[in-house]
Amino acid sequence: MAKHLNKATTLVEALPYIQKFNNKVIVIKYGGSAMIDEKLKLSVIKDISLMKLVGIKPVVVHGGGNKISEMLLKIGKEPKFIQGLRVTDDETVEIAEMVLSGSVNKGIVQLFEQQGMKAVGISGKDGKSIIAKKKLVDGEDIGWVGQIDTINPELIRALIDDDFIPVIAPIACDEDNNTYNINADYVAGAIASELKAEKLIYMTDVEGVMKDVNDRESLISKIKLNEIQNYIESKVIVGGMIPKIECCAESIEKGVSGVHILDGRVEHSLILEVFTNSGIGTMLMP
């Protein structure tokens, strides 16, 4: 069962965590319902703002796949996914960039600014922060789907050092000027690894990793790296959870100490994770 923030969550309980994470980078993959529902959206923005105000350095990587799908349907195009990745033809990559780097990215920045926070929205193209190459899925070309080749963290670090919250859209280009649509989970993982983040938190639309997605009580609260392959092979983990769990594993291997998958539908799930000892969602373990 998802735990909720209540009055027992006091400053006294939060204080050790505030000290522990002071000046530390926490990368948040923001997606799912927490990006669609207006009330949840504002609540997440306020939670991240609070993290910033107490001395944490949050970096936001956002998704918005649902907004791309909405736009595709408007122009009569059926969204198509293979292994959780969007099949991205010429027209789709143009729409993906317009939606992610445009309305979604700037919408999030605007909400931070309304909270009095300094935020800057970029995509992987800005400052060549992300250089991508084509990703093949089981050897198959599914269009302009990117795989991260290099992260150049200079711009992101400069923004952090200058007290901005970087808000990053999962769009990048290669040396030949091609644009790529990258699953935001990979971007969050790669940026967390490159920045040697203290925590990487994925906000999604389920309680965490479940043994059975239809059974809310089947949450797996801790997963060890060596268990992941089994869960994928036995089809416990399928679809969009595959890229997420793979990124989690890679980030742990690259030294990010806390990697969590949280239910973004639960108000203040971020605060519960960062500032309390009530572990929620799924935590990845080395």
Ligand X SMILES: CC(=O)N[C@@H](CCC(=O)OP(=O)(O)O)C(=O)O
Separation between Cα atoms, residue 126 and residue 262, nearest integer Å: 29
Q: Considering beta carbons, is residue 44 or 68 the nearer one to ligand X?
A: 68
Q: Is 232 in the site for ligand ADP (CB under 6 A)?
A: no
Q: Is 86 in the site for ligand X (CB under 6 A)?
A: yes
Q: Is 64 annotated as a binding residue?
A: yes
Measuring CA to CA, how many Å separate 58 from each of 114, 121, 209? 17, 13, 24
Q: Is 264 in the site for ligand X (CB under 6 A)?
A: no
Separation between Cα atoms, residue 238 and residue 10, nearest integer Å: 38
Q: How far is the CB of 273 from ligand ADP (least distance, A)?
A: 15
| Residues in the chain, total | 286
- Among 183, 193, 276, 282, the residue binding ligand X under the rule CB under 6 A is 183
Contact 275, 53 (CB under 8 A): no
Q: How far is the CB of 278 from ligand X (least distance, A)?
A: 25
Residues 6+ apart with CB under 8 A from 8: none
- Among 27, 28, 40, 85, the residue binding ligand X under the rule CB under 6 A is 85
Q: How many CA atoms lie within 13 A of 94 on its CB side?
A: 4
Read off the tokens for 62: 């956002």
Q: What radius of gyration do the chain's Cα atoms show?
A: 18
Residue 153's H or E segment, with its range, is none
Q: Is 79 in the site for ligand ADP (CB under 6 A)?
A: no
Q: Is 68 in the site for ligand X (CB under 6 A)?
A: yes
- The binder of 172, among ligand X, ligand ADP, none, by C-beta within 5 to 8 A per type, is none
3-class state of residue 208 by DSSP? coil
Separation between Cα atoms, residue 86 and residue 107, nearest integer Å: 23
Q: How far is the CB of 239 from ligand ADP (least distance, A)?
A: 5
- The binder of 68, among ligand X, ligand ADP, none, by C-beta within 5 to 8 A per type, is ligand X
Q: Is 96 in the site for ligand X (CB under 6 A)?
A: yes
Binding segment for ligand X (CB under 6 A), chosen from 16-24, 58-66, 107-115, 158-166, is: 58-66
Q: Is 65 annotated as a binding residue?
A: yes
Q: Is 240 in the site for ligand ADP (CB under 6 A)?
A: yes
- The binder of 96, among ligand ADP, ligand X, none, by C-beta within 5 to 8 A per type, is ligand X
Q: Is 280 in the site for ligand ADP (CB under 6 A)?
A: no
- The binder of 64, among ligand X, ligand ADP, none, by C-beta within 5 to 8 A per type, is ligand X
By CB under 6 A, the residues from 84 to 113 that bind ligand ADP are 84
Q: What is the dihedral of CA 117, 268, 219, 228, to 10 degrees?
A: 10
Q: Which amino acid is at 17?
A: Y
- The binder of 86, among ligand ADP, ligand X, none, by C-beta within 5 to 8 A per type, is ligand X
Separation between Cα atoms, residue 29 and residue 254, nearest integer Å: 17
Binding segment for ligand ADP (CB under 6 A), chosen from 8-16, 105-113, 165-173, 203-211, is: 203-211
DSSP calls for 4-26: ---TT--HHHHHHHHHHTTT-EE
- Residues near ligand X (CB under 6 A) are 31, 63-65, 68, 85-86, 96, 145, 170, 181-184
